[in-house]
Amino acid sequence: MKTLLKKGFNQLDSLFSKVFTPAWNPMYQLGALAFFYFWVVAVTGVYLFIFFETSISGAYSSIEQITVGQWYLGGVMRSFHRYASAAMGITVTLHLLREFALDRYSGPRWFSWVSGIPLLWLLFASAIGGYWLVWDQQAQYIAVLTAEWFDWLPIMVDPMASNFLNESTLSDRFFSLLVFLHIGIPLALLLGMFIHIKRVTAARSNPAKGLAAGTLLALLAISLWQPALSQAPANLDVAVTKVGLDWIFLNPYPLINSWGPGQTWALLVGLSTLLTVLPWLPSRRPKQTPVAMVYPPDCNGCGWCLADCPYEAISMKEHDYKPGHKQSVVDPDLCVSCGICAGACPSSSPFRHVDELTTGISIPGLHIKELLSLTETKLRELDVGVPRIMLYGCDHGSVVEGMQSNNVATISMPCSALVPPAFVDYVLRQDLAEGVLISGCCEGDCYHRLGNTWMDQRFAMERMPMLRTRVPRERVRLRWLGAQGTRELGRELIDFQQQLAENSADVDLLQLQEVGND
């Protein structure tokens, strides 16, 4: 199932990147979109609350007045409130499924995954409370079923269903309680959302501006085309047996009606429990390599690894050997062996005057000196006389192993950001290759959160360590195409080879002209 989900999401990612561009791809910003929809719901909810009457007789009529009497503003606000809630439910569901499909729920990611489970219950409770406030036939139907559902629990002292026997048993205080819950539960949801992203470095809680503007326009269009309307008013003296339900948030109610309260509780609680323990269940994922190791003699306490670690697995302490200096410390419970820290370390430069390349921090599975040795070995095996390319890839991005050839050397690693910019300089200056191509996860969707972002900034000289200005940029390419972009990377590789060949021919021609002039 996970393989099918991953394949499906890869296809959706590719489609939306073509339609919206990677920077505006909604699949890469599902969590940020959920935050955005929450704020839309909150703002429109405040407006609706101003005109809402918290009484049995006034609830339905006040909603109708907002919808019909103020259709140009109140009606649009209600529709925005309704459709933004539905959109939040959809994005949260897709976010959960996508993180599961891409194996982003275990290891140090467990906290974000587990803290998201109670948010599902709060989200559904918030939405269902909103349906109750309309107090139409749909609200009556779910109110009665909800009461029966909770009455099944042994903790209930007084039956909730007794409040819905007929019109005379329901009081205005019921709506005051509903309003209180419909404000309090979303506030708890918002707090939980910020706790959910607490351990995510540089977490995105706002979507791209263009995507946000497009979303608002889409909500406006659907609000005008299909405004949210109430069903007939509720009447507890008449039993409601059949209503149209919203299948985004009200999908448990047909189960309550057909299976009964006990089986529905068992299903939902069981599913929530399974999701909670999922990060610790055995899986077929490759075993995680040992965590990053710090080498105190080569650590100068610059803090670049601290700034770049996406998992907050690195901190600083007093240096073991250098008084007055700091030294990096790795938390083994948070490190995922991505290697981004090794790529950030200034000691990871092959230009250092040392007998053997050492570094301040590296991952045991692919030490910097091993990466350099592997790079040199593979490049020296290539044919001379044709443009040679060093292709560095990411284990979670485009598959590069099959692109090895007589003029292309490939190395795949946990994250492309493991490659220090100095390696690119070294490969080109030592004439080991004519070009370097670095590929990885899609733009804005790095498996390790920030790997491709840091690489872009390093090569643009916006982040340390930087790719020096002396490196000819036409001989270097960064391409973030993801696993779904393997074929496109192959075409990119051919195009790069042709460009390098043309540049080489231009240089040869220029040299001949200079000789002729002499």
Q: What is the pLDDT, as a whole number, of residue 284?
A: 58
Residue 32 clears pLDDT 70, i.e. is over it: yes
**Is there a single domain that holds both residue 230 and residue 122?**
yes
Asked whether residue 360 is assigned to any structural domain, the reply reads yes
- CA–CA dist 325, 95 (Å, integer): 43
Predicted confidence (pLDDT) per residue in 261-276, tens digit: 999 999 999 999 999 9
**Is there a single domain that holds both residue 233 and residue 311?**
no
Q: Which domain holds residue 189?
A: 2-137+168-238
Asked whether residue 500 is assigned to any structural domain, the reply reads yes
**Is there a single domain that holds both residue 227 and residue 297?**
no
Percent of the chain whose pLDDT exceeds 70: 96
- CA–CA dist 123, 34 (Å, integer): 11
Residue 510 clears pLDDT 60, i.e. is over it: no
Contact 126, 185 (CB under 8 A): yes
DSSP E strands in 274-335: the ranges are 293-294, 314-318, 326-330
Read off the pLDDT band of 508 (50, 70, 90).
Answer: very low
Residue 506 clears pLDDT 80, i.e. is over it: no
Asked whether residue 264 is assigned to any structural domain, the reply reads no
Asked whether residue 287 is assigned to any structural domain, the reply reads no
Domain boundary residue, one of 195, 223, 238: 238
Cis status, amide bond into 465, omega within 30 of 0: yes
Predicted confidence (pLDDT) per residue in 281-300, tens digit: 887 555 667 899 999 999 99
Average pLDDT of the segment spanning 302-309: 94
* pTM of the predicted structure, to 2 decimals: 0.88
CATH number of the domain at 15, please.
Answer: 1.20.810.10
Asked whether residue 257 is assigned to any structural domain, the reply reads no
- CA–CA dist 4, 433 (Å, integer): 39
Q: What is the pLDDT, as a whole number, of residue 133?
A: 92
Residue 197 clears pLDDT 50, i.e. is over it: yes
**Is there a single domain that holds both residue 229 and residue 299?**
no
DSSP 8-state symbol, 286: P
**Mean pLDDT computed over every residue of the chain:** 90
**Is there a single domain that holds both residue 320 and residue 422?**
yes
Asked whether residue 251 is assigned to any structural domain, the reply reads no
Report the range of poorest mean pLDDT among 82-86, 159-163, 372-376, 429-433. 159-163
**Is there a single domain that holds both residue 387 and residue 500?**
yes
Predicted confidence (pLDDT) per residue in 127-141, tens digit: 999 999 999 999 999
Number of domains the chain is built from:
2
Residue 308 clears pLDDT 90, i.e. is over it: yes
Asked whether residue 30 is assigned to any structural domain, the reply reads yes
Contact 335, 291 (CB under 8 A): yes
Phi, psi dihedral angles at 362 (to 5 degrees): -165, 165
Report the range of poorest mean pLDDT among 23-27, 117-121, 169-173, 409-413. 169-173
Report the range of poorest mean pLDDT among 155-169, 344-358, 469-483. 155-169
Determine the number of helices (DSSP H) and then strands (DSSP E) in the chain: 16, 8
**Which three-class secondary structure state does DSSP give residue 443?**
coil
Average pLDDT of the segment spanning 150-156: 83
Average pLDDT of the segment spanning 159-188: 85
> Which residue did the predictor score with more confidence, 148 or 244?
148
